[in-house]
């Protein structure tokens, strides 16, 4: 939504997993929000702290809003939940809608298909978000490596 919790966490986790797999060449990863609440802001301090405790650095990331250019630029555009996926579908030109999906479609170990927004909760919510994203990142990287 605002690009300060879930999506920058996913960006940091996926980037780190790609680096570990040696798959960074030719791959661009970026996160963006469907709302313009926090443009230019760093990730939420709780997200940054939780990510750092697992070895992910989010400190250089800044919130931005999804642009029309993103739909043409990226091969995959992954939403954290169905509400954001719906907003992306509304904004996305028809020829790029096939790129849209939920991040947790790549999850292997969780039945959940939406990453819950931890913003109004406590530290446990940010840890759960990391669990979900780490699992989905591994599935996403495997799907990329298979191509």
72 lies in some domain: yes
Name the packing angle between helices 123-145 and 6-21 (round to 10°).
Answer: 40
Residue-number span of the structural domain to which 37 is assigned: 6-145
4 neighbors 47 (Cβ within 8 angstroms): yes
In a domain, 100, yes or no: yes
Which CATH number goes with the domain that contains 72?
3.40.50.2300
How many domains does one find in the chain?
1
pLDDT (tens place) for every residue of the chain, 147 residues total = 999 999 999 999 999 999 999 888 989 999 999 999 999 999 999 999 999 999 999 999 999 999 999 999 999 999 999 999 999 999 999 999 999 999 999 999 999 999 999 999 999 999 999 999 999 999 999 998 876
Cα angle, residue 92 at apex, residues 86 and 96 outer, rounded to 5°: 115
Whether 133 maps to a domain, the answer reads: yes
Q: Which long-range contacts (CB under 8 A, 24 or more apart) does 21-27 make?
A: 21/141, 21/145, 23/141, 23/144, 23/145, 27/144
Cβ neighbours of 144 (radius 10 Å): 17
Q: What pLDDT sits at residue 113?
A: 97
Is 1 inside any structural domain? no
Q: Is residue 52 part of a domain?
A: yes
Is-above-0.85 flag for pTM? yes
């Amino acid at each position: 939504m605002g690009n300060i919790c879930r999506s920058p966490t996913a960006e940091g986790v996926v980037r780190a997993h790609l680096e570990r797999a040696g798959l960074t060449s030719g791959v661009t990863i970026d996160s963006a929000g469907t709302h313009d609440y926090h443009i230019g802001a760093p990730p939420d301090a709780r997200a940054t702290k939780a990510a750092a405790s697992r070895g992910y650095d989010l400190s250089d990331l800044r919130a931005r809003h999804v642009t029309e250019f993103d739909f043409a630029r990226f091969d995959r555009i992954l939403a954290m939940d169905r509400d954001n996926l719906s907003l992306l579908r509304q904004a996305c030109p028809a020829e790029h809608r096939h790129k849209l999906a939920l991040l947790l479609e790549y999850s292997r170990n969780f039945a959940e298909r939406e990453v819950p927004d931890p913003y109004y909760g406590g530290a446990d919510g940010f840890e759960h978000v990391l669990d979900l994203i780490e699992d989905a990142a591994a599935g996403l990287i495997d799907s990329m490596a298979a191509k």
